[in-house]
A and B are shown apart, each in its own frame.
Chain A
Amino acid sequence: MKANAVNLTEKEYLLQGNRTCPGCALSLAYRHILKALEGQVIVTVPPSCLTVLHGMYPITSVTVPCVNTPFASAAASATGLLAGLKALGREGLTVVAVAGDGGTHDIGLQALSAAAERQTDFLYICYDNEGYMNTGNQRSGSTPLGAISGTTPILGKQQIPKDIAAIMEAHGIPYVATANASYPLDLYEKVKKAGAIRGTRFIHVFSPCPPGWSFPFNNTIIIGKLAVETGWVILYEVEDGVFRLTSASESIAKKGDLKPLREYLVEQGRFKSITEQQIEALQRWVNARWKRCLDRADKSPHSVH
Chain B
Amino acid sequence: MAKRGGIRILDGNHAAAQGAKLSRVQVIAAYPITPQSPVTERLSEFVEKGELDAQYVAVESEHSALAVCTSASTVGARTFTATSSHGLAYMHEMLHWAAGARLPVVLACVNRAIGAPWNVLNDQQDSVSQRDTGWIQIYARNNQEILDSIIQAYKIAESVYVPVMVCYDGFVLSHTEMPVNVPSQEDVDRFLPPYTPHTILDPANPRNYNLVTFANPRVNAEGVLCHGYMELRYLLQEALQNSRETIIKVGQEFGEVFGRSYSNTLWTDRLDDADTIIVAMGSLVMEATVAADTLREAGHKVGVLGLRVFRPFPKADVVKALEKSRLIVVFDKNISYGLEGATCSEIKSALYGSSLRAAIRNFIVGLGGRDVKARELVDAVNRSLASVKEGDLTREYPEWICAI
Which of A's residues lie within 8 Å of B, judged by CB? 39-42, 44, 51-52, 54-60, 62-70, 72-73, 75-81, 83-88, 90, 93, 110-111, 113-114, 117-118
Contacts and interface: CB of A to CB of B under 8 A. Distances in A.
Nearest to A39: B203
A54 B208 CA distance: 8
A248 B270 CA distance: 82
A80 B69 contact: yes
B55 A87 contact: yes
Contacts of B212: 51-52, 54-57
B26 interface: yes
Contacts of B73: 80, 84
Given A54-B208, A84-B73, A79 B64 contact: yes
Nearest to A90: B75
A58 B216 CA distance: 11
Contacts of B77: 83-84, 87-88
Given A65-B202, A80-B70, A114 B60 contact: yes
B204 to A, nearest CB: 9
Nearest to A56: B212
Contacts of A51: 211-212
Interface residues of B, number: 47
A32 B69 CA distance: 30
Contacts of A67: 71, 74, 201, 209-210
Contact of A87 (B72, B201, B203, B224): B72
Interface string B95-109: 001000000000000
Nearest to B210: A68
B211 A68 contact: yes
Contacts of B60: 110-111, 113-114, 117
Interface in B64-86: 64-65, 67-77, 79
A121 to B, nearest CB: 12
Contacts of B218: 56-59
A69 B213 contact: no
A69 B97 contact: yes
Nearest to A51: B212
Given A77-B70, A80-B29, 20 more contacts: A55-B208, A55-B212, A57-B211, A58-B218, A58-B221, A58-B226, A65-B200, A68-B209, A69-B67, A70-B67, A72-B64, A72-B93, A78-B71, A80-B27, A80-B74, A80-B79, A81-B75, A83-B72, A87-B55, A111-B64
B190 interface: no
B210 A111 contact: no
B298 to A, nearest CB: 54
Contacts of A60: 208, 211
B386 to A, nearest CB: 51
Interface in B215-236: 218-221, 224, 226
B71 A84 contact: yes
Contact of A81 (B201, B207, B214, B219): B201
A51 B210 CA distance: 10
B61 A79 contact: no
B211 A79 contact: no
25 contacts: A39-B203, A40-B203, A51-B211, A55-B208, A56-B212, A56-B213, A57-B211, A57-B226, A66-B207, A68-B209, A72-B64, A76-B64, A76-B65, A78-B71, A79-B57, A80-B57, A80-B68, A81-B74, A81-B201, A83-B68, A83-B77, A87-B75, A88-B77, A111-B61, A114-B61
